Chain A
Amino acid sequence: GAGVSQTPSNKVTEKGKYVELRCDPISGHTALYWYRQSLGQGPEFLIYFQGTGAADDSGLPNDRFFAVRPEGSVSTLKIQRTERGDSAVYLCASSPGGQSNSPLHFGNGTRLTVT
């Protein structure tokens, strides 16, 4: 079946604007993750959903970042008052459950550029 789908693939926005990034996980996967990857770095954890609820949002850098998953499937990462430092590739991943040995399936990411 289809993999994890992220839209848009690229987003350019001006400093101070609001953006929404969408993730469509693999069908039936209950766990969903958002990561941020800066150039030359490994992905950094932002937030993890199990079903509709955020089970762990300890990676969100500040209150400008928020994510929802209202029906336990599609998730939206929302960034308010964007800053140039928010420029990065935002990755979404899903897995069948939250077990520690369950591999994550990643999307291709959304490249966000804040000018």
Chain B
Amino acid sequence: GNSVTQMEGPVTLSEEAFLTINCTYTATGYPSLFWYVQYPGEGLQLLLKATKADDKGSNKGFEATYRKETTSFHLEKGSVQVSDSAVYFCALRASGSARQLTFGSGTQLTVLP
């Protein structure tokens, strides 16, 4: 079946540090890949997505590249801010008849001033 494995947290960084959160997946066919973010007290929000191999999703300074050869979709940001503190979820949505998202377990990020 489909699955997503993401880097376990929690991750604590100083402001302006470089961020990488690893995500790898297992899926048949050509899934779409997503990063969702959950800020404290808020619902899940889409951060970025990529729908085919070598696509790069980007938003709010975050980037992730769909790498089919390594089945990965690592999230990166060059300079984190305190306001980036949240839980980040990697997810995939399979092609074909399945329509639901499969999520990783989430990575808690705390950015210190």
Pair count A-B, CB < 8 A? 62
* Mask: chain A, 49-91; 1 = CB below 8 Å from B; 0 = not: 0100001100100000000000000000000000000000001
Residue contact A56 to B51, C-beta cutoff 8 Å: no
Task: Indicate whether B14 reaches chain A with its CB closer than 8 angstroms.
Answer: no
In contact, B51 and A108 (Cβ under 8 angstroms) = no
Q: When the two chains form their complex, are residues B98 and A56 in contact, meaning their CB atoms are under 8 A apart?
A: yes
Docked complex Cα distance between A105 and B44 (Å): 8
Contacts A42-B105, A100-B31, A100-B95 given; does A48 touch B45 at CB 8 Å = no
What CA separation (Å) do A87 and B45 show in the bound complex? 23
Interface size on A, residues (CB 8 A): 28
B31, B32, B91, B100: residue with the most chain A Cβ atoms closer than 10 Å: B100
CA of A21 to CA of B21, assembled, Å: 34
Q: Is B60 interfacial (CB-CB < 8 Å)?
A: no
Closest Cβ–Cβ distance, residue A80 to chain B (whole Å): 23
Q: Is B31 a contact partner of A104 (Cβ separation < 8 A)?
A: no
> Contacts A100-B94, A101-B32; is A31 near B44 (CB within 8 Å)?
no
Q: Are A108 and B32 in contact (CB under 8 A)?
A: no
Which residue of chain A is the closest to B50 with respect to CB atoms? A101
Across the interface, A42 reaches (CB within 8 A) one of B32, B45, B49, B103, namely B103
15 A-B pairs with C-beta separation under 8 A: A3-B43, A4-B43, A35-B101, A41-B105, A42-B91, A42-B106, A43-B101, A45-B100, A98-B99, A100-B32, A100-B99, A101-B49, A101-B93, A106-B36, A108-B42
Q: Hey, which bits of chain B sit against chain A, CB under 8 A?
A: 4, 31-32, 34, 36, 42-46, 49, 51, 89, 91, 93-95, 98-106
A-B pairs, 4 with minimum CB distance? A42-B103, A106-B44, A45-B100, A108-B43
